[in-house]
Chains A and B, each alone.
Chain A
């Protein structure tokens, strides 16, 4: 038989173990996440504050902020994101409205949801080829326009590799994304409000002006912000479309990772990344705040 002191100590140990044993269950997940998510993020943020020799310094960040090339790329990134999220938000919202006013379990809705799911999350390289097949030199639209209107915008597809091209290609995944994100909000617009408004003698315009739009605006803005963050972070489509030059920040980062100047200055890619992360975090924080407001009336 074991001594009393021994079993008392062991008992205390077992109780502590039981109290904390649940944490063992999350250990594998936390390990995976720390290695492949937390540590890389920390490494990027801390690495941005280093100079070429690895010592703590603001020199890299300063050089990025004062370089006209980097600032121009940043400006282009913001421009593309702003343009595509505004157009995507408006068109996507209209699309969502058109589908939400239809049958709830209908065939149309299911097809639209699946198609949007594919296009919104699945773009990248394949989107580039889709667009080259449409608007490229031998593309469908180009051939048609060459026949009927050879000197028009679509007859001369050189814009495909410029900012204009990027905006048009990006909207191809922004519109479906808006549809996916905004549709649940429209679904939650309670029909009782419309009935109440009609019952009180309000017209369609008044309903939208006084009830619909104020209620929908936070959700709309939130979705717009999500689109902005999505477009700002996008890399694959631009990388496969634009083979020379780095006109937006993600392309600059991949260039920094692989260029000669980049290998002698590893902090450059990290400093540019820090800039990107800052923008995305600010946007996502605003988005979360807006979603909290939305969820309050959705219940």
Chain B
């Protein structure tokens, strides 16, 4: 009898908590519904409304945006100062795939990423986690740089290059890296099966060795040669490894090389950048809003900030080619000094199409590990 009474009241209590709890959860989600469905600033009643909505949310979660990657540091600091919003930066050295994984694993929590900066291959495989949003300057973005439905927009582009510590010698062609002075020194920025920079590094090697954007196998073979010579290390280069000299040769985007060059110059050393002749591989990254963003208003305000002259000029200063560059040159909002400092490249820059990226990704998944696997 006593047991029945106890269990009975316990059940009622638990039910009560459950009902009240879920009601609470439902109402708190109510306010966020509007913002997460917004497809442009007009849905907030203009930019002022959007800023007000973001100030209520008070935070933004970004992921895999290192401070020295295309000058993201300046953008992050600028955004924080302009709107008084806390920015939570997760996994700075993560790959595009890491961003999607975080979104999937943290879905429904307040730690999920709000915005993505993805490479092409990962982007095209994950449309279902993106929310469409068209920034105020949408019509000024060239048609080839955006999705018609607003699901994503290209943000900045660069050309794949090889950066190296000048004290190791001079590199005039890719095969120079097979020399003995580069033993255990050559690194790819990211695992090619996960990171856009890694994949394009192998694509560049492929083009330099008779392959094409449709055929990445020549690149994999070249890296296999590099690994067999003992020159390739399977380490992610990051500020710590470059500073310590652990990765003195890095396959990475030219804007990232620019950042290393600046750091080396400040320390009295020299970092050279080499573009293989006839193998100029370019690529743009893509900005998109997470469909399940815990801070939907701030996510969209971030997009507006990036696609305004302030954000675009910051990326330009970082040595990359922002998508609104021509528009800014036309209406004279471009930072002339940064424009002049952009590296000029001789030759034809080729960019992989989504299909070519996917084919390359598939080939790498099947063959990369076996090619450069462990000794």
Q: Is the CB of A243 within 8 A of B234?
A: yes
Q: Is the CB of A68 within 8 A of B370?
A: yes
Interface residue? B351 (CB, 8 A): no
**Chain B residues within 8 Å of A72, by CB:** 370, 373
Q: Is the CB of A258 within 8 A of B97?
A: yes
Known A-B contacts A138-B244, A244-B188, A247-B374; the reply to A261 vs B233 at CB < 8 A is no
Interface residue? A161 (CB, 8 A): yes
Bound: A80/B11 CA distance, A: 53
**Chain A residues within 8 Å of B233, by CB:** 158, 161
Q: Is the CB of A260 within 8 A of B100?
A: yes
Interface residue? A163 (CB, 8 A): yes
Tally of A interface residues using CB under 8 Å? 27
**Chain B residues within 8 Å of A260, by CB:** 97, 100, 122, 125, 194
Bound: A69/B372 CA distance, A: 12
Contact indicator per residue, chain B 80-117, by CB within 8 Å of chain A (1) or not (0): 00000000000000000110110010000000000000
Bound: A261/B245 CA distance, A: 34
The distance from the CB of B133 to the nearest CB of chain A, in whole angstroms, is 24
Known A-B contacts A258-B97, A259-B194, A260-B122; the reply to A69 vs B369 at CB < 8 A is yes
The distance from the CB of A176 to the nearest CB of chain B, in whole angstroms, is 26
**Among A17, A244, A259, residue most surrounded by chain B Cβ atoms (within 10 Å):** A244
Known A-B contacts A136-B246, A137-B246, A260-B122; the reply to A245 vs B191 at CB < 8 A is yes
**Which of A68, A156, A161, A244 makes the CB contact (< 8 A) with B183?**
A156
Q: Is the CB of B374 within 8 A of A162?
A: yes
The distance from the CB of A125 to the nearest CB of chain B, in whole angstroms, is 14
**Among A10, A162, A164, residue most surrounded by chain B Cβ atoms (within 10 Å):** A162
Interface residue? A263 (CB, 8 A): yes
Q: Is the CB of A243 within 8 A of B236?
A: yes
Contacting A at CB under 8 A, from B101-142, are 101, 104, 122, 125
**Chain B residues within 8 Å of A158, by CB:** 183-184, 230, 233
Contact indicator per residue, chain A 34-75, by CB within 8 Å of chain B (1) or not (0): 000000000000000000000000000000000011001000
Interface residue? A194 (CB, 8 A): no
**Chain A residues within 8 Å of B194, by CB:** 259-260
Q: Is the CB of A137 within 8 A of B244?
A: yes
Interface residue? A216 (CB, 8 A): no
**Which of B97, B188, B235, B370 makes the CB contact (< 8 A) with A259?**
B97
Contacting B at CB under 8 A, from A241-283, are 242-247, 258-261, 263
**Among A163, A164, A243, A246, residue most surrounded by chain B Cβ atoms (within 10 Å):** A243
**Chain B residues within 8 Å of A246, by CB:** 369
Interface residue? A109 (CB, 8 A): no
Residue of B nearest to A10 (CB): B1
The distance from the CB of A183 to the nearest CB of chain B, in whole angstroms, is 34
Contact indicator per residue, chain B 171-191, by CB within 8 Å of chain A (1) or not (0): 000000000000110001011
The distance from the CB of A31 to the nearest CB of chain B, in whole angstroms, is 15
Interface residue? A76 (CB, 8 A): yes
Q: Is the CB of A245 within 8 A of B244?
A: no
The distance from the CB of B226 to the nearest CB of chain A, in whole angstroms, is 12
**Chain B residues within 8 Å of A157, by CB:** 184
**Among A136, A164, A245, residue most surrounded by chain B Cβ atoms (within 10 Å):** A245
Bound: A161/B101 CA distance, A: 25
Bound: A49/B370 CA distance, A: 26
Contact indicator per residue, chain B 1-38, by CB within 8 Å of chain A (1) or not (0): 10100000000000000000000000000000000000
**Which of B183, B188, B234 makes the CB contact (< 8 A) with A242?**
B234
**Chain A residues within 8 Å of B125, by CB:** 260
The distance from the CB of A260 to the nearest CB of chain B, in whole angstroms, is 6
**Chain B residues within 8 Å of A156, by CB:** 183-184
Bound: A72/B122 CA distance, A: 27
Contacting B at CB under 8 A, from A118-154, are 136-138
Interface residues of A (CB under 8 A from B): 10, 17, 68-69, 72, 76, 136-138, 156-158, 161-164, 242-247, 258-261, 263
Question: Could you write out 21 A-B pairs with CB less than 8 Å apart?
Answer: A10-B1, A17-B3, A68-B370, A69-B369, A137-B246, A138-B244, A161-B233, A161-B235, A163-B375, A244-B188, A244-B190, A244-B191, A244-B198, A244-B236, A245-B191, A245-B372, A245-B373, A247-B373, A247-B374, A259-B193, A260-B100
Interface residues of B (CB under 8 A from A): 1, 3, 97-98, 100-101, 104, 122, 125, 183-184, 188, 190-191, 193-194, 198, 230, 233-236, 244-246, 365, 369-370, 372-375
